[in-house]
């Protein structure tokens, strides 16, 4: 049986940590404000440690196994990052301290801005966005503000390829823009004819993921950007797949006007079971004035004796603030650590090996799994998880069967334009042996699909729980333990 819930193991009167007695006279509580109920669990420290340690053991993670989740860049998260982010000088500084007392933090943020500019080919950076989707919102609001600043108010349309991640259309809608989907051509590129039809004077811009979610570098990227620019629109780059491009090409050089970086993908900060992420945005020179406030700048130049004084600067036409304070600083320290350990050549080696690993894995399995777009891929690729002679087996079944072989499945059913999609991203940190073992397993599962399909349909067999009743979860909506005690 599974791990009990906190409320099941709570015993009235237990406490996992104690605090000192008050060393000041007691004040009287204001009348009518004091709560008499506080339905919190009551556990010893050992109860808590065992409970969460056991829960952790029910998880799959990069530290315990291969995690080839497409578009998620599940690379190794170096342990030194966790140490540096916890240095007391970083972890115990308050975001509203006088700048003179946090010059280390500000210098680190300033330098990281400079590095991300260099890596992405941009003129300005904001470190404020909390995640990729938050970076998208920042970038699209900047594009909107740019057009408005030129009194070009009729531009309300944003173009999004049909292979895009769902956050792109959701972001555009949140920014008050009208979404028009652009189909992909037979080689997985943006369909140029479809694009031309939409390039008119209502065009605010386009959100483009390159390499796209098929793992393909758009063969016409320069033409796509030229067409959007010629119509007066701007191009936003979704940097989710930047791991393929480090030191290979700088998005700003090709003409992307803005792009977010996912520090939790490309720059090795941990995914944490769903966050925190960090989504800095880079912009070209004509958008620097619109960046969220504040950005980190030098407010007094240094000299031989004195380092410069770093501080906050509000860009002239700033879109405002995207969140409180200065971004996910702890994640910035981790990314800074990671970039420091690589340098320029190391950046390129990351991309080269991420792309080599993907193409190697693809070469091993493409005789067994159908590849809808047969091209050299970048850091990831998408195959079909179904065979005409085994139609009852679906991508989902293959994924669940992989768990029996102690692998995390690839991303399923995305992108939407590939039938029964299995999207596989190996990352550069995996060895040839791991890729060989994974390919061998995929080939074995393909064989099972044809000869013993029930092994797939009933999988997984060895995980802590089997397939779940998702309908029951949505219908009964049990979202808290001990709900009854919460009713007033």
Partner 1 sequence: MFIPHTDADRAAMLRAVGIEKLDDLFKDVPARYRFPTLNLPTALSEMEVSRELQDISLANESVHDLVCFLGAGVYNHYIPAAIDAIIRRGEFLTAYTPYQPELSQGTLQAIFEYQSNVAALTGMEVCNASHYDGATAVAEAVNMAYANFRRKRTKIILSPAVHPQYRQTVRTYAEGSPVVLVGDDPQIDLKADPDSLIPLIDIDTALVVVQYPDFYGRIYDYTKLAEATHAMGALLAISVNPIALGLLKAPGYMNADIVTGEGQPLGIPLSYGGPYLGLFATRKEYVRKMAGRLTGETVDNRGQRAYVLTLTAREQHIRREKATSNICTNQGLMALASTVYLSLLGKNGLRQVAELCFHKAHYAAQAITNLPGYSIWSPAPFFNEFVIQTPTPVSEINDLLLDHDILGGYDLSQDYPDLSRHMLIAVTEMNTREEIDRLVEVLSEVSNG
Residues 399-458 interacting with partner 1 (rule: CB under 8 A)? 399-400, 403, 408-409, 414, 428-432
State which residue, 124 or 460, has the beta carbon closest to partner 1: 460
Q: How far is the CB of 449 from partner 1 (least distance, A)?
A: 19
| CA dist list (Å): 33 to 25, 36, 39, 488 | 20, 10, 17, 17
Q: How far is the CB of 284 from partner 1 (least distance, A)?
A: 15
Burial class of residue 422, CB neighbours in 10 A (0-12, 13-18, 19+): buried
Q: Does 316 bind partner 1 (CB under 8 A)?
A: no
For residue 460, whether the previous peptide bond is cis, meaning omega lies within 30 degrees of 0, is: yes
Q: Does 118 bind partner 1 (CB under 8 A)?
A: yes
CB 123 within 8 A of CB 283: yes
Q: Does 224 bind partner 1 (CB under 8 A)?
A: no
Q: Does 356 bind partner 1 (CB under 8 A)?
A: yes
Q: Does 312 bind partner 1 (CB under 8 A)?
A: no
List residues bridging with 444 in a β-sheet. none
* Phi-psi domain of 87 (left: phi exceeds 0; alpha: psi -120 through 50; beta: other): beta
What is the pattern of x (binds partner 1, CB under 8 A) and - over residues 196-215?
Answer: --------------------
What is the pattern of x (binds partner 1, CB under 8 A) and - over residues 236-275?
Answer: ---------x-xxxx--xx---------x---x-xxxxxx
Which residues from 268-307 bind partner 1, rule CB under 8 A?
268, 270-278, 292
CB 99 within 8 A of CB 106: yes
Tokens 């397939």 appear where?
467
Single out the residue of 7, 371, 390, 443 in contact with partner 1 (rule: CB under 8 A). 7
State which residue, 49 or 285, has the beta carbon closest to partner 1: 49
Q: How far is the CB of 198 from partner 1 (least distance, A)?
A: 15
Q: How far is the CB of 412 from partner 1 (least distance, A)?
A: 8
The kind and range of the H/E element at 224 are: helix 221-230
- Tell me the window of 231-239, 296-304, 347-355, 442-450 that interacts with partner 1 (CB under 8 A): 347-355
Single out the residue of 113, 126, 172, 386 in contact with partner 1 (rule: CB under 8 A). 172
Contacts of residues 448-451 at CB distance under 8 Å and 24 or more positions apart, as own/partner, are: 448/401, 449/387, 449/390, 449/393, 449/397, 449/398, 450/387, 450/389, 450/390
Q: Does 387 bind partner 1 (CB under 8 A)?
A: no
Number of residues that bind partner 1 (CB under 8 A): 208
Q: Decide: helix, strand or coil at residue 43.
A: coil
Q: How many residues are given for the chain?
A: 488
* Phi-psi domain of 135 (left: phi exceeds 0; alpha: psi -120 through 50; beta: other): alpha
List residues bridging with 300 in a β-sheet. 309
Q: Which candidate, 244, 242, 246, 248, places its Cα nearest to that of 264?
A: 242
Q: How far is the CB of 388 from partner 1 (least distance, A)?
A: 27
Q: Does 329 bind partner 1 (CB under 8 A)?
A: yes
Single out the residue of 68, 105, 233, 415 in contact with partner 1 (rule: CB under 8 A). 105
Q: Does 15 bind partner 1 (CB under 8 A)?
A: yes
State which residue, 152 or 450, has the beta carbon closest to partner 1: 152
What is the pattern of x (binds partner 1, CB under 8 A) and - over residues 44-83?
Answer: -x--xx-xxx-xxxxxxxxxx--x-x--x-xxxxx-x-xx
DSSP 324: S
Q: Does 149 bind partner 1 (CB under 8 A)?
A: no
Q: Does 192 bind partner 1 (CB under 8 A)?
A: no
CB under 8 Å to 425, separation ≥6 — which residues?
68, 69, 70, 71, 72, 73, 74, 215, 358, 379, 380, 410, 411
Q: Which candidate, 445, 49, 110, places its Cα nearest to that of 308?
A: 110
State which residue, 218 or 448, has the beta carbon closest to partner 1: 218
Q: How far is the CB of 389 from partner 1 (least distance, A)?
A: 27
State which residue, 102 or 231, has the beta carbon closest to partner 1: 102
């Amino acid at each position: 049986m599974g791990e009990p819930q906190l409320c099941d193991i709570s015993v009235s009167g237990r406490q996992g940590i104690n605090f000192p007695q008050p060393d000041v006279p007691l004040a009287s509580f204001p009348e009518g404000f004091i709560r008499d109920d506080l339905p919190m669990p009551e556990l010893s420290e050992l109860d808590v440690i065992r409970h969460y340690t056991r829960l952790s053991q029910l998880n799959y993670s990069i530290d315990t196994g291969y995690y080839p989740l497409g578009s998620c860049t599940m690379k190794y998260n170096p342990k030194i990052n966790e140490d540096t982010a916890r240095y007391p000088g970083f972890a115990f500084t308050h975001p509203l301290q006088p700048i003179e007392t946090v010059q280390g933090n500000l210098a680190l943020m300033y330098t990281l801005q400079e590095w991300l500019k260099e890596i992405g080919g941009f003129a300005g950076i904001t470190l404020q966005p909390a995640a990729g989707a938050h970076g998208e919102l920042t970038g699209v609001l900047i594009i909107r503000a740019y057009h408005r600043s030129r009194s070009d108010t009729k531009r309300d349309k944003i173009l999004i390829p049909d292979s895009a991640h769902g956050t792109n259309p959701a972001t555009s809608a949140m920014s008050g823009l009208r979404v028009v989907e652009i189909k992909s051509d037979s080689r997985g590129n943006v369909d140029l004819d479809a694009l031309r039809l939409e390039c008119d004077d209502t065009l605010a811009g386009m959100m483009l993921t390159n390499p796209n979610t098929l793992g393909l570098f758009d063969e016409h990227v320069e033409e796509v950007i030229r067409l959007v620019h010629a119509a007066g629109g701007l191009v936003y780059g979704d940097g989710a797949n930047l791991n393929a491009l480090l030191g290979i090409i700088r998005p700003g050089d090709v003409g992307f006007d803005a792009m977010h970086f996912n520090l939790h993908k490309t720059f090795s900060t941990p995914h944490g079971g769903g966050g925190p992420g960090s989504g800095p945005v880079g912009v070209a020179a004509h958008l620097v004035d619109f960046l969220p406030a504040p950005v980190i700048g030098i407010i007094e130049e240094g000299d031989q004796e004195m380092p410069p004084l770093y501080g906050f600067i509000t860009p002239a036409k700033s879109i405002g603030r995207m969140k409180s304070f200065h971004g996910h600083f702890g994640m910035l320290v981790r990314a800074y650590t990671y970039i420091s350990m690589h340098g320029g050549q190391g950046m390129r080696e990351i991309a080269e090996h991420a792309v080599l690993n993907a193409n190697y894995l693809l070469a091993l399995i493409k005789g067994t799994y159908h590849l809808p777009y047969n091209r050299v891929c970048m850091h990831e690729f998408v195959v079909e998880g179904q065979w005409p002679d085994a139609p009852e087996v679906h991508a989902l079944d293959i994924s669940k069967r992989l768990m029996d072989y102690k692998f995390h499945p690839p991303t399923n059913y995305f992108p939407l334009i590939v039938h029964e999609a299995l999207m596989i991203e190996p990352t550069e940190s995996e060895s040839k042996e791991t890729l060989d073992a994974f390919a061998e397993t995929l080939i074995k599962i393909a064989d099972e699909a044809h000869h013993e399909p029930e092994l797939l349909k009933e999988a997984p067999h060895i995980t802590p729980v089997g397939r779940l009743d998702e309908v029951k979860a949505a219908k009964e909506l049990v979202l808290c333990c001990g709900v009854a005690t919460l009713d007033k």
